[in-house]
Amino acid sequence: MNTHASSSPARHAARFSSRSVVLPQRNIDTDQIIPARFLTTTERRGLGRHAFADWRTRADGSPKPDFPFGRPENAGAAILVAGRNFGCGSSREHAPWALADLGLRAIVSSEIADIFRSNALKNGLLPIVLDDAIVDELLARPGLELVVDVAACTLALPDGRTFAFPLDAFARTCLLEGVDTLGYLLRQDAAITAYESRLPAHEGSTHAR
């Protein structure tokens, strides 16, 4: 599902740091990230307040003080470390929208569901997959100051250890430039037009007019 909502993904700094917030549960699915009752909008802004709604609030709507995103020390945190198979379930693009609006810039896990990973990258949210042993250590040590280097595709711990994560070149470019696939293509309009102008007339134009 790609509704291409009104705003573009945020431009990523080539390097950023943040305290980590930890959700150790495995198989956190997209309905837990953003419950279905909040899917009636195609507007990204404001969805962050509904992220993990059924975990963050009691039945009367009051916040649960022990939920990680409700703790004062985690205010402004931009890196979530989560249990294995994060983002499984339905393909709702609202899930990365909600996490990005919550202020997150990266999700770290030992496994991230393929469709969620694709939707996250389209919306400026960096999925970082690391080995189980590394993620288990991060899950056991919430609040670590982590450094993410998007350009180099590395995550560094406070003790200086650095771990590489997979990220294809196109996705990295889109993150660093703050565009999704469509935005990237639209930026190439002048180059496409120039190329077509050099084509022999009988080959015609593939460029939408």
Looking at residue 174, its amino acid is: C
* CA 166 to the chain's CA centroid: 14
Stated as kind and residue range, the H or E segment containing 17 is strand 15-23
Residue-wise pLDDT for 130-144, tens only, equals: 999 999 999 999 999
Contact 110, 85 (CB under 8 A): no
* 123: region left, alpha or beta (phi > 0 left; psi from -120 to 50 alpha): alpha
Residue-wise pLDDT for 50-78, tens only, equals: 999 999 988 888 889 899 998 999 999 99
* Mean pLDDT for the stretch of residues 158-168: 97
pLDDT at 9 over 70: no
* Mean pLDDT for the stretch of residues 4-13: 53
* Distance of alpha carbon 193 from alpha carbon 206, whole angstroms: 10
pLDDT at 4 over 80: no
pLDDT at 31 over 60: yes
* Distance of alpha carbon 76 from alpha carbon 74, whole angstroms: 6
Six token digits for residue 79:
């890196």
Give domain 15-178's CATH superfamily. Aconitase, domain 4 (3.20.19.10)
Q: How many C-beta atoms surround the C-beta of residue 197 within 10 A? A: 9
pLDDT at site 1: 40
Sheet holding 79-82, edge to edge: 126-129, 106-109, 79-82, 15-23, 145-149, 154-156, 162-164
pLDDT at site 5: 43
Percent of the chain at pLDDT above 90? 68
With a CB cutoff of 8 Å and minimum separation 6, the contacts of 47 are 34, 38, 41, 94, 97, 98, 101
Residue-wise pLDDT for 94-132, tens only, equals: 999 999 999 999 999 999 999 999 999 989 999 999 999
pLDDT at site 95: 97
Q: How many C-beta atoms surround the C-beta of residue 166 within 10 A? A: 10
DSSP state of 183: H
* Distance of alpha carbon 32 from alpha carbon 66, whole angstroms: 17
Q: How many C-beta atoms surround the C-beta of residue 108 within 10 A? A: 26
Domain boundaries, the chain: 15-178, 179-209
pLDDT at site 200: 81
Band the pLDDT of 195: cuts 50, 70, 90: confident
pLDDT at site 11: 52
pLDDT at 39 over 50: yes
Q: At what angle do helices 169-177 and 114-122 cross, to 10 degrees?
A: 40
pLDDT at 199 over 70: yes
* Mean pLDDT for the stretch of residues 85-92: 95
Six token digits for residue 99:
């996490």
Nearest Cα neighbor of 99 from 34, 28, 22, 4 is: 34
